[in-house]
């Protein structure tokens, strides 16, 4: 792919992943109405890329917006939120929408997001063309966040990671998996990953949540996730990665003890919510991976790495 968004590792970089020199690739005021654009998801589409973006407007109302790009770096994002038609239900109530993920499964792009329905829960929708969007039943009862679909079915069933939560700034949280035969009814909920002990891996000791859509590697499903520690200045969000079993994705094979990316760049340290690195998407092109993450709840940024090096890092710096 010659329009894969990519930058080589800088000469002075000793880390397994590195930031884009063009960060933030999307600024807070890049649409006409936005206060902030962050925690957003992109996928290959046509000859380029499409994405679903979280924009909070200047009334600080949370909603999701479609965007397009030929190179994955320069984005044109709509000034009006996505309007959904009824999909597998007439009940498409939504007080707000945020933190979208996009997953290609079989014949369409599925979108999951945190949907306001008497509190946060997981909303589901789909599109074939990023023009017409259909909304389905919410996956779960409130309260839940960080719903991430696998790109493949397991024994004919869709699989989704999620993070049961509370109605506020949840001071706890583990990652669960649920299955559905039809994208409407979800069950067989299993715990996948819990927070880490403070003494072993403090950056992920308060709560964790699925980040990017998992992609298959020779070691298993590779997924970037966020981990949170509570400091005397509030929550601090970093990015780690886990490898889940190819056939049984509720089984964690390895997960990082050391974070892959912690808030350190100025745009991650300063913003509407300081100290947040929040991955929501990853593009791959053979051994290259480009991660999209929200920085400080304000902008969209990118980081890069090589899949084989990341797998090696996860195995050798594992919890």
Q: Rounded to the nearest 5 degrees, what angle is found at the Cα of 279, between the Cα atoms of 83 and 217? A: 110
The reply to whether 26 sits near ligand BMA by the rule CB under 6 A is no
The H-assigned helical ranges of 172-300 are: 266-269
Nearer residue to ligand BMA within complex by CB, 114 or 244: 114
- Ramachandran assignment for 73, one of left (phi > 0), alpha (psi -120 to 50 degrees), beta (any other): alpha
Nearer residue to ligand BMA within complex by CB, 16 or 277: 277
The reply to whether 102 sits near ligand BMA by the rule CB under 6 A is no
Q: Which of 18, 28, 55, 99 binds ligand BMA (CB under 6 A)?
A: 99
Output the CA–CA distances (angstroms, integers) from residue 125 to 65, 122, 139, 158, 264, in the order listed: 13, 10, 10, 14, 34
Per CB under 6 A, which region of 26-34, 73-81, 270-278, 303-311 contacts ligand BMA? 270-278
Per CB under 6 A, contacts with ligand BMA among 153-212 are: 169
The reply to whether 98 sits near ligand BMA by the rule CB under 6 A is yes
Output the CA–CA distances (angstroms, integers) from residue 126 to 106, 109, 222, 247, in the order listed: 12, 6, 23, 25
Nearer residue to ligand BMA within complex by CB, 268 or 297: 297
The reply to whether 268 sits near ligand BMA by the rule CB under 6 A is no
d(CA 3, CA 9): 18
Nearer residue to ligand BMA within complex by CB, 272 or 285: 272
**168-187 burial string, b = 16+ CB within 10 Å, else e?**
eebeebebbbbbbeebeebe
The single-letter DSSP state of residue 195 is P
Per CB under 6 A, which region of 23-31, 124-132, 241-249, 273-281 contacts ligand BMA? 273-281
H helix or E strand, kind and range, residue 207: strand 207-210
- Position of minimal CB gap to ligand BMA: 273
The reply to whether 39 sits near ligand BMA by the rule CB under 6 A is yes
Quick check: helix, strand or coil at residue 223? Answer: strand
**In the complex, what is the shortest distance from the CB of residue 278 to ligand BMA, in angstroms, rounded to a whole number?**
5
Nearer residue to ligand BMA within complex by CB, 183 or 260: 260
Q: How many residues bind ligand BMA (CB under 6 A)?
A: 10
Give the residue among 282, 135, 277 at the shortest CA–CA distance from 223: 282
**In the complex, what is the shortest distance from the CB of residue 216 to ligand BMA, in angstroms, rounded to a whole number?**
27
The reply to whether 143 sits near ligand BMA by the rule CB under 6 A is no
Nearer residue to ligand BMA within complex by CB, 127 or 146: 146
Query: Distance from first CA to last CA of the chain, Å, rounded?
Result: 35
Instruction: Please report, as ranges, the residues that interact with ligand BMA according to CB under 6 A.
Output: 39, 98-99, 169, 237, 273, 276, 278, 294, 297
């Amino acid at each position: 792919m010659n329009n894969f968004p990519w930058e080589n590792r800088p000469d002075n970089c000793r880390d397994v992943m590195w930031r884009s020199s063009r960060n933030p690739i999307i600024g807070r005021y890049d649409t006409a109405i936005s206060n902030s654009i962050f925690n957003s998801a992109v996928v290959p589409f046509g000859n380029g890329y499409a994405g679903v973006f979280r924009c909070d407007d200047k009334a600080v109302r949370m909603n999701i917006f479609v965007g397009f790009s030929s190179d994955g770096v320069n984005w044109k994002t709509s000034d009006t939120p996505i309007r959904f038609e009824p999909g597998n239900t007439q009940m498409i109530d939504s007080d707000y929408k945020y933190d979208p993920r996009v997953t290609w499964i079989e014949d369409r792009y599925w979108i999951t997001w945190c949907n306001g329905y008497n509190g946060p829960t997981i909303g589901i929708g789909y599109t074939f063309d990023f023009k017409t969007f259909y909304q389905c039943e919410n996956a779960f009862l409130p309260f839940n966040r960080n719903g991430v679909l696998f790109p493949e079915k397991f024994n004919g069933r869709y699989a989704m990671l999620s993070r049961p939560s509370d109605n506020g700034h949840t001071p706890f949280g583990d990652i669960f998996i649920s299955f559905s035969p039809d994208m409407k009814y979800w069950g067989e909920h299993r715990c996948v990953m819990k927070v880490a002990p403070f003494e072993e891996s403090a950056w992920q000791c308060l709560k964790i949540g699925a980040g990017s859509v998992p992609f298959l590697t020779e070691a298993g499903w590779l997924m970037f996730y966020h981990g949170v520690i509570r400091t005397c200045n509030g929550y601090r969000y970093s990015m780690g990665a886990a490898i889940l079993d190819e056939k049984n994705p509720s089984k964690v094979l390895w997960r990082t003890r050391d974070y892959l990316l912690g808030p350190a760049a100025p745009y991650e340290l300063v913003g509407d919510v300081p100290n947040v690195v929040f991955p929501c998407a990853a593009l791959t092109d053979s051994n290259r991976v480009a991660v999209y993450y929200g920085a400080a709840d304000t902008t969209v940024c990118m980081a890069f790495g090589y899949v084989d090096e990341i797998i090696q890092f996860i195995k050798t710096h594992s919890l």
